[in-house]
Amino acid sequence: MSENPKKTYYISVASGEISQSREASPWDFQISANDEEITELREYFDQIHSTSWQNFFRAHVPYIQYHYDKENDAIDALTKKVYEFIYKHGDEEARKHIASMGLMHNQE
């Protein structure tokens, strides 16, 4: 028996929620992951949240243009990591949906 078995989780990307309960809140994707893997996903969501606050404050500084803002690039990169994680650990429906979004160009 594995010391760190995989469990089923339900993920909402927009809210950054990770739940083991299917009915607890709305969710987008179903994945199977162990505790260490879920910690990795939680860290991605935490980094997105932190960077979003930095963007909020940046938005109130009129002389910094959006396209020169490294925080926006960071959020884009982190969001891509979230979708890559879900693609790797998600069920067939999750993988099909993410593939249809055009985010996984080099995945099989």
Q: In the prediction, which pLDDT does 40 show?
A: 98
Per-residue DSSP letters for 1-24? --SS--EEEEEETTTTEEES-SSS
DSSP state of 98: H
pLDDT above 70 covers a percentage of the chain that reads: 76
In the chain, domain spans:
7-100
Answer yes or no: pTM beyond 0.85.
no
Work out the mean pLDDT of the chain and round it to a whole number. Answer: 86
pLDDT top residue among 9 and 54: 9
pLDDT tens, position by position, 4-21: 899 999 999 999 999 999
Q: What is the mean pLDDT of residues 50-65?
A: 61
